[in-house]
Amino acid sequence: MGTQWSARLLWLGAILLCWQLPLRAETLVVYGDDSYAPVIYLDAGKPAGTLVDILQAVGQKTGEVYDLQLRPWKRAYEEARSGQGALVGASLTAERSALFDFSDPIYADDIQVVVRRDRAFVFNQLKDLKGKVMGGVIGASYGQEVDQAIKDGLFTVDLDIGQSSRLLKLLAGRMDGALIGNGQAGFEAVLHSSPELLAQRNQLLVLKTPLTRDMLYFAIPKSMNKRDAIERFN
């Protein structure tokens, strides 16, 4: 009799646990950059990259379903900020921390300085960029120190929505350098996305010192009141 009751209790507990899991897990729209290979990007119209793999791995463990919607970064950020969904691949800034709940860091992103080989310059610290024009993505943060240097006018950022077009402008002599994410792997990914760039790779040089190491996060707008989803993600 005792054994039967124990078995029934275990069976009942398993059913209750199955009922509870869907109550915690949910489907969450997540916005991200559509052209930041190999970190996160669209491949034949489907989300791909390291951050996508991370979200899938987390979802398998937690039961969470992440509906990835990849856009140009500026649009992705604005849609998340307005409360339409979460955001993956975001840098942490004071301004953003007031608007979003952030996860623990999920990716360390080295932002490289790429120059034309025939116009290379010494870069060891931020002040070496004084007066220069650098290409960067619209709506991006490069960390508080770099963001403040830009705001103070130490150097100018020519804004765009894609790394391929940025390198083409660099080759055309329209800027002094281009900021390219994800270190050497990111640089190679951009080159291989464009036959025109790949044909001119010997004209480009990645400077030894990165601009910064930018930690990337998963974030949910505070207006969505989903701090529990951040805790499950962590």
In Å, how far are 25, 67, 123 from 180, measured between CA atoms?
36, 27, 15
Pick from 215, 219, 188: nearest CA to 109:
215
Sequence-distant (≥ 6) Cβ neighbours of residue 186 within 8 angstroms: 36, 37, 38, 39, 112, 163, 180
Say which CATH architecture domain 108-214 belongs to: 3-Layer(aba) Sandwich (3.40)
Per-residue pLDDT at 25 = 67
The CA distance from 126 to 109, in Å, is 18
Torsion angles phi and psi, residue 225, rounded to 5: 55, 55
Which single residue is written with the structure tokens 């942490």? 92
**What's the helix, strand, coil split of the chain in %, to 5?**
45, 30, 25
pLDDT digits (tens, 9 = 90+) for 71-93: 999 999 999 999 999 999 999 99
Q: Provide CATH 3.40.190.10 ranges for the chain.
A: 24-107+216-233, 108-214
Task: Give kind and range of the element (H or E) at residue 113.
Answer: strand 107-116
pLDDT digits (tens, 9 = 90+) for 116-128: 999 999 999 999 9
Torsion angles phi and psi, residue 73, rounded to 5: -55, -45
Confidence band for 24, pLDDT divided at 50, 70 and 90: low
pLDDT digits (tens, 9 = 90+) for 180-214: 998 899 999 999 999 999 999 999 999 999 999 99
Pick from 213, 205, 233: nearest CA to 115:
205
Looking at the DSSP bridge assignments, the partners of residue 204 are 116
pLDDT digits (tens, 9 = 90+) for 38-57: 999 999 999 999 999 999 99
Torsion angles phi and psi, residue 204, rounded to 5: -110, 150
In this model, does residue 23 exceed pLDDT 70? no
CATH homologous superfamily of 24-107+216-233: Periplasmic binding protein-like II (3.40.190.10)
Q: Are the CB atoms for 179 and 163 separated by under 8 Å?
A: no
Torsion angles phi and psi, residue 51, rounded to 5: -65, -35
